[in-house]
A and B are shown apart, each in its own frame.
Chain A
């Protein structure tokens, strides 16, 4: 089954304790991205990657790190989490081919990770 898998689904942690949220897709998609969703602020992009070893900042990258060493995996790292990073996080992937109408490609989302930082 084609899917984007995020883990964990729920995570409660304390301020300053490094954590990683994993994301894996089995659709051979070039593009992957992380979003956070907050009440009243909607969905905002944190980081994205157009292919292996190619990552770039989205709208709210502060406090986050990502890496794309393999095509299928795109982990989100919080080196020193703070309470303002409490949120619902989504990983997403899509096709992206330079020169093609890749803007037509829908993003496929993982089930989300609810992170609470106390």
Chain B
């Protein structure tokens, strides 16, 4: 069975500093995609960044980057230069090639950015 683990229920970061949100996953598949989503207090789910299992380079998208360590099955999200608007819940998720009908989510990490 596939599983996503986010071990940090909550994190604080000072404005303008970088923060890393942890994500580990469990799958025996070779082909899969890893995604990060942001959910602000208003409730919507916003897609941030994607990493494919065959991608050799870490994904980057503006201030977001993904630290992908395939052998350790981890896909940590790094947010650089944190802003107050980054305060939100962050979800790591996985989609497998064999069961692409479903995106499996972790429990999420609440990030609070302090001014």
Contacts and interface: CB of A to CB of B under 8 A. Distances in A.
B108 A103 contact: no
Contacts of B47: 106-109
Interface residues of A, number: 27
Contacts of B52: 101, 104
Interface in B9-57: 31-33, 35, 37, 43-47, 50, 52
Contacts, number: 63
Size class of the contact patch on chain B: 20 to 34
Interface of B: 31-33, 35, 37, 43-47, 50, 52, 91, 95-97, 100-103, 105-108
Given A90-B45, A101-B52, A104-B50, 11 more contacts: A31-B100, A33-B101, A43-B91, A45-B102, A101-B97, A103-B31, A105-B33, A106-B33, A106-B35, A107-B47, A109-B44
Interface of A: 31, 33, 42-43, 45, 48, 50, 56, 58-59, 88, 90, 92, 96, 101-112, 114
